[in-house]
């Protein structure tokens, strides 16, 4: 390796990959540090294996939460030797230790944040304003989408606070499935507009990547590059510039500074293979290992100059965490029973969705007395495509009157209900409060001796009101679809406080180093640069100020590109 790099980037997922792509294209010499091994979806993704080729028919296990073929080769909620703890309502922390991070595993849903999402306080009088506006971010959304590739609705279909991509960028969406057409008609009865869901899957070739031909679930990874991932779209093109060095199996755990504590000099890490502690230097350090990990690294980088952790003069590192709230119903539609076999697989995400539809006075009239909103969609993992009922659907049938399902009775049941069982779900915003934060536990260390995080997680009354509204909307939707509820994902017989699953389980956790205009109340400025350390940036989801119902990945990448532009300009001007 070089003696010194222009920039060290920790983490290779959405934020780190985008940062790598932008900097190397500008001729900057970059070292990319990844905690896991190199992973190449082109040769390693299990796109075509059948369930009978896997243990337990490919079902999930503690070490493979989303099934045997999940592209996360090292990760999940529990990783041996890498513990964490939580208190309050509980929190589960998903990690992916491999080149490309979670981008091999996520659902590829990439809606844009809207004007109200960036300026919630200004528009609604609640929550906080970001130091950037939609107008600031719009050109970066355009640039990211041009590289990443996505399909979506016509730009003219956009509704309030759900802006869509320009038509010259977005690709044609796949046609709705039969279940989604019923979903759309049911939403229409409720006065709710539906449209194609913005999704980072190619329906036309782009930059040497092929169009999707609906092979298997995208969380298996994609050998043809149709489903976006950081390795295919960002890191491989960056390597071709000759400006990128990749250092896999390197556990970064501290940011090094000079004697003043105001300038980052490099990163201290552990080589997983040799178990040795090492250091590497650069002119700029960028943290992008995931929101929770960035906070952990900063808190573990404390010194005499930074006794509460690096970049933490505000005391806000690790604070104001949030995750997407969710609700789910498994339903069965009698009209779809005994249909002839047909192929309507599509991509492994909803082809249609309903963006949040209540704003301003309409929201007040509807009694939706909570921050933000939620989106409605069919659940592809819950059987939204034509196919056999899942195991959970079959068990749900057993619990709702179908006793003794085995032998011929089980086969007849599967034939009858083939294609008639589906999931419908909501994904919602979360109210950001100081009650959700992480600390590092000095008494508990991982297998490398690094203090682990402890999550303090408490759902607010606002979150419970939103969850109750979500659950009621789903039951109305199910009724309008002519379906019967097989299973309520959050058991409506329980109190409203039990309608939300444990924090972290949606895998959309953000916050911990929030952006702002005031160094006394925020960790980062509008360029994702830390207030306290001039040449230290955070380019993952840690900088989020509020949490919308929209999936965060696209906004993470847009913020990372914007931060990269700032780094390029400052390096050219010899400011850092």
Reply yes or no on whether the pLDDT at 243 is more than 60: yes
Q: Which regions of 22-90 does DSSP assign to beta strands (E)?
A: 30-33, 75-76, 85-88
Closest CA to 184 of 388, 13, 354, 419: 354
Return the CATH class of domain 153-196+325-428+460-499.
alpha beta
CB distance 418 to 178 below 8 Å: no
Contacts for 234 with CB less than 8 Å, ≥ 6 apart: 17, 18, 20, 21, 147
Residue 252, classed as helix, strand or coil, is: strand
CATH 3.50.50.60 domain span(s) along the chain: 1-51+87-149+225-322+440-457+509-576
pLDDT for 386 beyond 90: no
pLDDT digits (tens, 9 = 90+) for 16-64: 999 999 999 999 999 999 999 999 999 999 988 888 898 888 888 877 8
* Cβ–Cβ under 8 Å, residues 537 and 530: yes
Q: How far apart are CA 57 and CA 59, in angstroms?
A: 6
Tens digits of residue pLDDT in 513-526 = 999 999 999 999 99
Q: DSSP class of residue 539? A: -
261 backbone dihedrals φ, ψ, rounded to 5° = 75, 5
In angstroms, the Cα distances linking 452 to 20, 167, 322, 524 are 27, 46, 19, 23
* pLDDT for the residue numbered 3: 62
The pLDDT of residue 393 is above 80: no
Read off the pLDDT of residues 268-281 as tens digits, 9 standing for 90 and up: 999 999 999 999 99
Pick from 565, 576, 1, 16: nearest CA to 286: 16
Residue 63 neighbours by CB distance under 10 Å: 14
Distance CA 511, CA 317 (A): 9
CATH architecture of 1-51+87-149+225-322+440-457+509-576: 3-Layer(bba) Sandwich (3.50)
Rounded to whole angstroms, the Cα distance separating 552 from 122 reads 21
Please, where in the chain does CATH 3.30.410 lie?
153-196+325-428+460-499
* C-beta of residue 18 within 8 angstroms of C-beta of residue 7: no
Confidence of residue 403 (pLDDT cuts 50, 70, 90): low
pLDDT tens-place string over residues 11-21: 999 999 999 99
Give the per-residue pLDDT at 492: 45
Please report the pLDDT score of residue 283 as a whole number.
97
303-338 confidence digits (pLDDT tens): 999 999 999 999 999 999 999 998 889 898 999 988
Cβ(3)–Cβ(545) under 8 Å?
Answer: no
pTM: 0.95
Residue appearing with tokens 């704003």:
359
DSSP 113-164: P-HHHHBHHHHHSSS-B-SS-HHHHHHHHHHHHHHH--B---GGG-BTTB--
- Whether 1 has a pLDDT exceeding 60, the answer reads no
Distance CA 514, CA 120 (A): 15
């Amino acid at each position: 390796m070089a003696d010194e790099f222009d920039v060290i980037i920790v983490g290779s997922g959405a934020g780190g990959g985008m940062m790598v792509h932008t900097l190397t294209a500008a001729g900057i010499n970059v070292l990319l540090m990844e905690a896991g091994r190199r992973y190449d979806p082109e040769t390693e993704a299990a796109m075509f294996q059948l369930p009978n080729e896997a243990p337990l028919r490919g079902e999930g296990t503690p070490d493979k939460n989303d099934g045997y073929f999940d592209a996360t080769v090292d990760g999940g909620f529990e990783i041996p030797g890498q513990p964490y703890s939580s208190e309050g309502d509980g929190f589960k922390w998903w990690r992916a230790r491999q080149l490309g991070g979670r981008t091999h595993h996520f659902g590829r849903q990439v809606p844009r944040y809207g004007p109200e999402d960036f300026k919630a306080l200004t528009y609604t009088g609640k929550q906080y304003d970001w130091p950037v506006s939609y107008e600031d971010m719009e050109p970066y959304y355009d640039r990211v989408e041009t590289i990443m590739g996505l399909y979506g609705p016509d730009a003219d279909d956009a509704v309030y606070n759900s802006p869509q991509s320009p038509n010259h960028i977005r690709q044609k969406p796949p046609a709705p499935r039969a279940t989604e057409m019923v979903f759309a008609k049911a939403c229409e009865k409720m006065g709710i507009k539906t449209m194609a869901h913005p999704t980072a899957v190619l329906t036309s070739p782009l930059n040497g990547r092929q169009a999707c031909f609906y092979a298997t679930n995208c969380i298996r990874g994609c050998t043809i590059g149709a489903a976006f991932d950081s390795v295919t779209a960002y890191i491989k093109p960056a390597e071709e510039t000759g400006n990128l060095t990749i250092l896999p199996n390197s556990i970064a755990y501290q940011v090094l500074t000079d004697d003043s504590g105001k300038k980052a000099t490099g990163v201290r890490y552990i080589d997983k293979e040799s178990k040795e502690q090492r250091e590497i230097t650069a002119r700029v350090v960028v943290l992008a290992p995931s929101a929770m990990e960035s906070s952990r690294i900063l808190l573990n980088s404390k010194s005499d100059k930074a006794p509460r952790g690096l970049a933490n003069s505000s005391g806000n590192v690790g604070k104001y965490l949030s995750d997407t709230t969710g609700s789910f119903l498994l339903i069965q539609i009698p009209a779809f029973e005994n249909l002839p076999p047909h192929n309507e697989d599509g991509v492994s995400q909803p082809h249609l969705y309903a963006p949040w539809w209540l704003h301003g006075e309409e929201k007040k009239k509807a009694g939706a007395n909570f921050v933000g909103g939620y989106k409605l969609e069919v659940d592809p993992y819950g059987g939204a495509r034509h196919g056999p009922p899942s195991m959970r659907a079959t068990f749900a049938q057993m619990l709702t009157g179908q006793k003794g399902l085995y032998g011929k009775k089980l086969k007849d049941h599967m034939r009858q209900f083939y294609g008639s069982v589906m999931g419908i779900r909501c994904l919602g915003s979360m109210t950001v409060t100081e009650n959700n934060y992480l600390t590092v536990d000095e008494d508990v260390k991982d297998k490398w001796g690094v203090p682990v995080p402890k999550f303090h997680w408490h759902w607010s009354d606002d979150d419970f009101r939103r969850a109750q509204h979500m659950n009621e909307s789903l039951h109305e939707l199910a009724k309008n679809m002519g379906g019967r509820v097989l299973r309520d994902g959050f058991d409506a017989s329980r109190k409203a406080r039990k309608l939300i699953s444990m924090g972290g389980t949606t895998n959309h956790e953000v916050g911990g180093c929030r952006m702002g205009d005031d160094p006394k109340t925020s960790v980062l400025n509008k360029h994702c640069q830390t207030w306290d350390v001039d040449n230290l940036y955070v380019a993952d989801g840690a900088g989020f100020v509020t949490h919308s119902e929209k999936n965060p990945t696209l906004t993470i990448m847009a913020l990372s590109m914007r931060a990269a532009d700032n780094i390029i300009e400052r390096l050219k001007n010899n400011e850092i």
